[in-house]
Structure 1
Amino acid sequence: MPEQPVLIGAPLDDACLTLEQLCSACAVTPEWVCSHVLEGRLHPPGDRPSQWRFGSGELTRVRQIRRLEIAFDAEPELAALVADVLEELDRLRAQLRRISPG
């Protein structure tokens, strides 16, 4: 039997994006991200923008907030609040599936 190649990779949850990579992936400006961080709507680790790293959860959150801001002409605070509620709903649904799978 021929030997199969071994694929090595990192799970998406472990991947971190820089500010520039996040902006590119989400079609937002660094100013948009900085504003949302300063207002407490995003929480990257690090003290300065050059130190910020964003995981897959933050990537999803940025896309969701931006989509809400555009689609509903929502204020950033409202878009972030709706994103919080949707994240909590997803978390509760996952918990319910673990408790009663079926």
Structure 2
Amino acid sequence: MPQEIDAILLEDARLSLDELARSCRVSREWIIEHVQWGLLPNENLIEMDPNGWIFDSRSFVRVKRIVAIERDFECNPELAGLVADLIEEVELLRTRLKASEPNES
């Protein structure tokens, strides 16, 4: 029996609210609440109708990360958002550090 594979290239991802919820296996309400709390990187979404929201690959990765943190540490969304912020900052700093190192040839 063939299996259906539902995949997108993350760099080019443009997901609706329903697509993001389905991809991350969370409810629409979960995403709406996290946007309202300021935990997802779409500052101007709060003013819009949720049915018109579009999310990018950063949102996808962040939702997956927050879901895992909330589940693994049984913590509230605000703490999960803070931990996700710290992880993202460490990743950014590591990338900058690696870029500033001289090439070893």
Q: Which residue is equivalent to 2:4?
A: none
Scaled by the length of structure 1, the TM-score of the pair is 0.83
**In 2: Cα distance, 1:38 partner to 1:68 partner:** 19
Q: Deviations over 1:49-73 (max 9, x none)?
A: 1121111111000000010001110
Quick check: 1:76 aligned with 2:74? no
Structure number with greater Rg is: 1
**Segment drifting more, 10-19 vs 32-41:** 10-19
**In 1: Cα distance, 2:29 partner to 2:60 partner:** 16
Query: Identity over aligned residues, as a percent?
Result: 39
User: Following superposition, which runs of at least 4 residues in structure 1 exceed 4 angstroms of deviation?
Assistant: none
Q: Which residue is equivalent to 1:85?
A: 86
Q: Which residue is equivalent to 1:52?
A: 53
Q: How many residues align?
A: 93
- Tell me how large the CA RMSD over aligned residues is: 1.7
**Segment drifting more, 25-34 vs 47-56:** 47-56
Q: Which residue is equivalent to 2:16?
A: 18
Scaled by the length of structure 2, the TM-score of the pair is 0.81
Which amino acid in the other structure matches residue 75 of structure 2?
A
Which amino acid in the other structure matches residue 40 of structure 2?
L
Q: Deviations over 1:11-32 (max 9, x none)?
A: 6323210000000110100000
Which consecutive unaligned segments of at least 5 residues does structure 2 have? 1-7
**Segment drifting more, 53-62 vs 40-49:** 40-49
